[in-house]
Structures are given as C-alpha cells and as structure tokens.
Amino acid sequence: MTIRHVAIYLRISRDKKEGIDTLSNHRDILIDFCRSSQWTYERYEEIVSGGGSELENRPELYRLLNDIDLFDGILVFELSRLSRNGLVSQQIKQVCIDYDKKVITPYQIYDLANNHNDRLLYDFGSVIASQEHALIGKRSKTNKKIMAKSGLHVSGSVPFGYIRNPHTKKLEIHQEQAEIVKLIFQLHAKGYGSFSIRNILNERGYRTAKGGYFELPTIKRIIRNPAYKGTNVFNDRRKVKERDKFIYKIVETIQVPNAWDSIIPPEEWEKANEDRKKRAEHAEITREKAANKTGVTLLKDLLYCGVCGKKMTIRKDKGSKYMLKRCEYLLPSGEKCPNRGVMLKYVEEDVVEHIKQYKDEIISILYSLKLDEWSGTEKDYNNHLEQIEKEIRRIRIEEENLLNLAIKGLFSEEQILTKRQELLNTLHTFTTQKEAIIDELTNLKKLDTKERLQTAVEGIHELEIVLENDMSEEANRSMKRIIHKIYYKRVIPEDLLKKSTRNKERKLYPFTLNIHYK
C-alpha cells in the first residue's frame, strides 16, 4: 500500500516536565519528513502524564484511532511517543493490524498487518519503552528516599516560612515569613480558629509567598505541617486503581526529626496539633452529619453561596435548631464574603414552595405541548446534515479530479500537494460538524423535551410523598434527584448591620434563592 496521507501524533509528558519547545521541535521534524516524502497529514497533539496513562485519558490518541480509516499510517517521532504503557501499545498495534495501517517513524516503517518481523520489532520497542519508563521512575523514587533519609527536602513545594538552599537541598528559615508562621501558632494557642486567624492575617496586611490573601486551607495546612518543628516527612506513594479510578496510596512514610532548624519548637507544635484534633472532634458533635448523629437535613449538600459560589455550611445551635451559617470565605478582593446566614427552616420552606411552583409550570407546559411545535429542531438538524453531506461528496469528487490532473501533468507535484492538503482540511471541518450534528440527533431521540419534563414531574411527586412522611434522609436524596444546586443570597445593608441582631428589620431581612434544576 502506497503512503499518501498520514496522521502525525505528538505527545509530551507532563511527568517529565517536557516543555512546549520539545513539542514544537518534534512537530517541525515530522512535518519536514512529510514534505520530503510528499505526504499530506493531519496533526493530533496532547500533553499528558507518562506511561501510566490509559487510552481513555488520551483524548487526541483516542480520536486518532477513531479516525484511523482516513489515513495510510501513524507518524510519530519515536515509538515511546505513542505510549510507554504496554497495554496501550498493544491496543494501537491491534487497530493498525485490523485496518492495515502502518506505524511510521523518521527511521523505520512498521507494517504491522503484513510483516511478522515488523510486529516483533514493534513489540520489542514497546517493551523497551515501558521498561525504560519503569526504571526511570524506580531510580527517581529510590534517590528521593535516600535524600529524604539524609534530611534533604524533596517533597514538592517549599513550606511557607522556609527557602530551599539550592546547594545543600536543605530548608533554611525565611525570617520575615517565619514571623507570620509563629503568629499563626500563637493565635491558635490563644483559642482562635482557622477562620479568625485568616481574617487577622489579611486585615494586618500579611500575604502568602505568592502575594495573595491567606485562605482557610493555607492556615490549616501550616498548623498540620511537621516541617515547622524541623521534621522532614516523605511519603512513598503508589498509583493503584480502585473503583475505576486511579488513586495514590501511601506505602511508606519516612520521618527524619531535626532535619533543619525549626520555626516552632517541637513541644509547641505537638500541643497545637493535639488542640486541633480536640477542636475537630468537638466540632463533629455539632456539625451536620449522618442520620445516627444529628440527622440529615432536607437541603444537605445543595446550598451554595449566591455571592462567591462556595458551598455553605449547616450547623445546629444550642437550642437544637438548624442554622445556615454565614459564608466565611473570601472574595477575590480579600474581603470577607458578605452573605449572611438565617434559620434553615425558612430556606427549606421557601425551596419547597419554589418546587411546587416549578411543578405547576411544567404541568402547564406539558398540557400545551404539541408534537409539531417541538419537531422543528430535529428537522433543522436533518436539513443541516444533508447540506454537510453534499459538501463532503463534493470534496471527494474534487480530490479524485485532482488526482486525474496530477496524472495528466497539468499541475506540479507541489501544487497538487498544497491543494490536496487544503481539501483535506476542509473535509476534516465538515466531518467534525457532521459528527456533532449526529450526536445532537442521537440525544434528541434518547430523551426529548417532553420526556424530560415528565421525568421532573415524577421526581417532584416522589419528593412530595416523602415530605408528607417527614423522612429527612430520604427527602434529601429525593431533592438531589431533581435539584443540582441552590444558590442562596442574603446581603444585609451596612446601616442595618450596625443595629442589634434583635432588631426586627435586620432579623427579617429577606434572602433570595436561585434554584438550578437537573
């Protein structure tokens, strides 16, 4: 089979921290190779993690294999660029055998469908690439463990309050930042919580290493980090698959005390973390939890701040009433979010009323719904699809005519090559549009508007039955079947905030809800 049109596949590894320059260099080499071979091409490029990446995590490679029938072969810089994962390499090999397509590098053409020796060479090259990746990873991990045991810092970013000496690889104290770390531990020892510490730091003008405002996770991370008592901690992690997802499990933890100068004395750090754990345990008693503790509320995990978009917190007060707490996150400006809380039952009542109105609106639409009113969308899609298919047929004919002109010698090879590449680019655009329209038509056939509305009504009816029986946990599950998110907003004006919390106008200041249904 003569090679005329190829798929160029380019991949750089995020794990190896390969730069865009690497991608650009490989691209230039392969495009020059196509030109010298007088091949046309289409490019597929991506930046992914290394050898462990499965095919479903490689969208461009996956797209290429779906398009494989359009090409005479796959052109790569070297075999390892296809994959360092043995399973993925074999999947690619099988596709090339099934469709009689070649794998090509600037130095070798692998005719996998017809040449047994090429198959062996491909397999051998893939094994070498996979083994090389494993050995590099193993050597890197071993070196890190040796360095960690020697008290060198190898665990990613440098903790706030330290700098890493580029020669010794040990942490050294950044005096200005260290004073902020000391202040955090001092405030914590006085009983201040993470929210209060965050607010104090930001109000006093302190900033993070990158010049940003202190956020809640940063405060918590600093208090928990044993680096501040001078201990070097390195976690040896292994990538494993659980429930169809890859996670990193800690298989070994290396701890080296007195690895560098401490900012916080070890006994003070231990005391701070004992207090932190006790506070967390106490908070669990009042925080909204499972049904056997405080009961699941109707709106658990559904309420979000209408100002900053963060998830809101539900707590019990001393009188066992559920309260929606004020939003305690920061705005991008560094100011505290102004969204105020309210007694939860008022929000629940309002949500239930909104749902009833929503149900009435849906039923009204269903009654007025006529088939011909909703068939226009499908008709428009089909008309558009027909036009695109005509264009695709026209381009195919032009491509055939172009070959005839080439045979007759009416145009130079370079002119023919340029024109054919233009036609292929246009063909690719129309093919992509065609696939998108087919997907939309498939979705319309799967579940049209009428069916979606009927499903929503059934879900609301189920919720109403559950609410009548006062089953909070089941009601919460039913609520989540019909609602995606509820955005709550209650920003009380500054003049009202100056008044007592018992002031009637302040107490009854309204809130608004924006419910996003599924």
Q: pLDDT of 43-77, one tens digit each?
A: 999 887 544 456 777 888 889 998 998 999 999 99
Confidence label for 409 from pLDDT (cuts 50, 70 and 90): low
Quick one: which of 38, 33, 3 has its CA closest to 413?
38
pLDDT at 226 (0 to 100): 94
Whether residue 180 has pLDDT greater than 90: yes
- C-alpha pair distances (Å), 415 with each of 7, 127, 420: 21, 42, 9
Confidence label for 207 from pLDDT (cuts 50, 70 and 90): very high
Claim: this prediction has a pTM higher than 0.85: no
Confidence label for 197 from pLDDT (cuts 50, 70 and 90): very high
Q: Which residues contact 268 (CB under 8 A, 6 or more apart)?
A: 185, 189, 229
The strand pair at 108-110 and 102-105 is best described as antiparallel
Q: Is 431 exposed, middle or buried (0-12, 13-18, 19+ CB in 10 A)?
A: middle
Compute the distance between CA of residue 5 and CA of residue 416 in angstroms, rounded to an integer.
13
One DSSP character per residue, 354-387 reads HHHHHHHHHHHHHHH--HHHHSHHHHHHHHHHHH
Q: Is 192 helix (H, G, I), strand (E, B) or coil?
A: coil
The sign of the torsion formed by the CA atoms of 208, 209, 211, 215 equals: negative
pLDDT single digits (tens) 497-517: 988 888 888 888 999 999 998
Which residue has tokens 């020796």?
Answer: 117
Instruction: Read off the pLDDT of each residue in 82-96 and give the average, rounded to a whole number.
Output: 85
Whether residue 451 has pLDDT greater than 60: yes
Min mean pLDDT across 131-135, 170-174, 211-215 is at: 131-135
As assigned by CATH, the class of the 5-141 domain is: alpha beta
Whether residue 281 has pLDDT greater than 80: no
Whether residue 305 has pLDDT greater than 90: yes
Compute the distance between CA of residue 465 and CA of residue 473 in angstroms, rounded to an integer.
13
Instruction: Read off the pLDDT of each residue in 385-403 and give the average, rounded to a whole number.
Output: 82
pLDDT at 140 (0 to 100): 78
**And the tokens for 513?**
């809800």
Q: Please, are residues 129 and 137 in contact by the beta-carbon 8 Å criterion?
A: no
Instruction: Read off the pLDDT of each residue in 347-367 and give the average, rounded to a whole number.
Output: 81
Q: Which CATH architecture has domain 162-286?
A: Alpha-Beta Complex (3.90)
Confidence label for 374 from pLDDT (cuts 50, 70 and 90): very low
pLDDT at 289 (0 to 100): 43
Q: Is 184 exposed, middle or buried (0-12, 13-18, 19+ CB in 10 A)?
A: buried
Min mean pLDDT across 180-194, 262-276, 411-425 is at: 411-425
pLDDT at 434 (0 to 100): 82
Instruction: Read off the pLDDT of each residue in 165-179 and give the average, rounded to a whole number.
Output: 91
Helix, strand, coil % (nearest 5) of the chain?
55, 15, 30
pLDDT single digits (tens) 214-260: 988 899 999 999 999 999 999 888 877 776 676 778 888 889 999 99
Confidence label for 151 from pLDDT (cuts 50, 70 and 90): confident
∠ CA 360-358-380 to the nearest 5 degrees?
Answer: 95
pLDDT at 377 (0 to 100): 61
Compute the distance between CA of residue 341 and CA of residue 171 in angstroms, rounded to an integer.
43
Whether residue 16 has pLDDT greater than 80: no
Rg (the chain; Cα; Å): 32
pLDDT single digits (tens) 458-484: 777 777 776 766 657 778 888 888 889
Q: Please, are residues 153 and 159 in contact by the beta-carbon 8 Å criterion?
A: no
pLDDT at 43 (0 to 100): 93
Min mean pLDDT across 45-49, 140-144, 291-295, 377-381 is at: 291-295
Torsion of CA 473, 477, 483, 487, to 10 degrees: 40
